[in-house]
């Protein structure tokens, strides 16, 4: 498609007084449930609250391209053989592109490096507007999907990341861990560390008896006795989440007063069920399956301790959601969680089965201490994880990159005739 022919003309002076227009591009969007979707939804909501006009460009769940209020969906085909629920965008729709150019976004903020990123780069170039990119995924932890060698896979990822980010005005990452990784890859674009924020009105402990009764009902649905402690994990059931190790740790701890609940679906569920059986702990593991995104906070509230062993997190958004809901954290040591897990206060990080067992026993054998850590978790989340600050900091990046461009270039973003 020749985008040059669709380039808008000069902007009128009245356009300078309208709200900032932001186009968010992402390959992942509803109805898919993952950390990228949650982050983009939060950002969209907060930018709108700050007075921005925001639209989303994403992929449709089928061949048909369509436009609904605030969301453009590009027709796509399944790439499930490469990665579960992944899709590849089809050739661009000229009418949709014309509508986006006529709207005239001031900033393009891409959230994925594949199909919609191609659109993001082309639209930014056509309108001469800044392109900001959020780097969400540590791809080298997914080498088992595309390379038999982790070393070769890492080199491929480093080259890919340098190439993909070369044309951006700024890169946003959720943790210092990811910033260091991009530096090791040789990425030389300006990088800003901005953790994703949470809606703390939604992610919080049960506030009344009705919500507490709902939590008890979820436990009963899974056949969990009232006196048992629930170890909760919320994530996609995929190999990179390292849930095999969680099962191994639960088996090694051998606490029959605790039940592990895995919330989520994915391609690795059958293997995990078999591993639980082989470890002899199938009676202490529950697979809750996929839950609606709007319902996930209910499942956090039915837990007592949040557990995880993933080393593929860029930020660990589910760990933060659990924290905000009052669950102490027990997770594999990972730099991405250094600002989330305050050792001995909001939880612990472990490196082996002995540490896992020690910390789990401290939580299970001392309910009073567990209650103190639950309250500390909520306080820490409120102090560090609010969504409003996330939105403000991203908006600051937009303003910085726009100031970095000359008025002549910025002035070329106009509404198409």
Residues 40 and 180 in one domain: yes
Interstrand relation of 131-134 and 107-110 (parallel, antiparallel or unpaired): parallel
| pLDDT tens per residue across span 23-79 | 999 998 888 777 888 899 999 999 999 999 999 999 988 888 888 899 999 988 876
Query: Of the given ranges (39-43, 123-127, 131-135, 413-417), which has the lowest mean pLDDT?
Result: 413-417
- Residue 202 counted as domain residue: no
Residues 400 and 377 in one domain: no
Q: What confidence tier does 147 reach under pLDDT thresholds 50, 70, 90?
A: low
| pLDDT tens per residue across span 224-275 | 999 999 999 999 898 889 999 999 999 999 999 999 999 999 999 999 999 9
Q: Total structural domains in the chain?
A: 2
| pLDDT tens per residue across span 321-364 | 999 999 999 999 988 788 889 999 999 999 999 999 999 999 99
Residues 213 and 337 in one domain: yes
Q: Residue 327: its pLDDT value, please?
A: 98
| pLDDT tens per residue across span 279-314 | 999 999 999 999 988 899 999 999 999 999 987 776
Residues 184 and 95 in one domain: yes
The CATH number of the domain where 60 resides is what? 3.40.50.2000
Share of the chain above pLDDT 70, in %: 88
Q: Are 69 and 97 in contact (CB under 8 A)?
A: no
Residues 401 and 377 in one domain: no
- Residue 203 counted as domain residue: no
pTM passes above 0.85: no
Range of the domain at 170: 4-197+386-410
Residues 259 and 360 in one domain: yes
- Residue 417 counted as domain residue: no
């Amino acid at each position: 498609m020749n985008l040059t022919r669709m380039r808008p003309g000069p902007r009128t002076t009245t356009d300078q007084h309208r709200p900032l227009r932001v186009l968010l591009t992402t390959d992942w969007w509803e109805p898919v449930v993952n950390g990228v979707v949650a982050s983009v939804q939060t950002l969209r909501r907060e930018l709108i609250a700050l007075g921005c006009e925001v639209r989303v460009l994403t992929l449709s769940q089928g061949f048909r391209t369509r436009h609904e209020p605030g969301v453009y969906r590009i027709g796509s085909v399944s790439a499930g053989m490469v990665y579960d629920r992944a899709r590849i965008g089809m050739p661009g729709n000229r009418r949709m592109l014309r509508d986006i150019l006529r709207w005239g976004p001031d900033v393009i903020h891409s959230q994925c490096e594949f199909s919609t990123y191609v659109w993001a780069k082309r639209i930014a170039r056509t309108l001469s507007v800044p392109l900001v990119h959020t780097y969400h995924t540590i791809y080298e932890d997914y080498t088992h999907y595309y390379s038999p060698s982790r070393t070769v896979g890492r080199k491929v990822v480093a080259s890919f990341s340098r190439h993909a980010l070369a044309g951006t005005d700024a890169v946003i990452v959720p943790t210092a861990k990811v910033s260091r990784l991009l530096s090791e890859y040789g990425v030389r674009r300006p990088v800003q560390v901005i953790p994703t924020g949470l809606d703390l009105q939604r992610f919080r402990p049960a506030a009344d008896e009705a919500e507490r009764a709902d939590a008890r009902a979820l436990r009963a649905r899974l056949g969990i006795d009232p006196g048992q402690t629930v170890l909760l994990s919320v994530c996609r059931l995929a190999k990179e989440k390292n849930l095999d190790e969680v099962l191994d740790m639960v088996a090694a701890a051998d606490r029959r007063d605790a039940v592990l609940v895995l919330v989520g679906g994915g391609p690795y569920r059958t293997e995990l069920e078999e591993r639980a059986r082989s470890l002899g702990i199938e009676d202490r593991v529950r697979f809750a399956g996929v839950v609606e995104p709007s319902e996930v906070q209910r499942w956090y509230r039915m837990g007592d301790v949040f557990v995880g062993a993933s080393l593929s997190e860029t930020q660990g958004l589910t760990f933060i959601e659990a924290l905000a809901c009052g669950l102490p954290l027990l997770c594999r040591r990972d730099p991405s969680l250094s600002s989330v897990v305050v050792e001995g206060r909001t939880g612990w990080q472990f490196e082996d089965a002995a540490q896992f067992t020690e910390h789990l026993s401290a939580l299970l054998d001392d309910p009073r201490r567990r209650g103190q850590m639950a309250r500390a978790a909520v306080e820490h989340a409120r102090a560090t994880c609010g969504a409003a600050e996330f939105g403000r900091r991203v908006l600051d990046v937009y303003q910085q990159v726009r100031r970095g461009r000359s008025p002549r270039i910025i002035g070329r973003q106009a509404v198409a005739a």
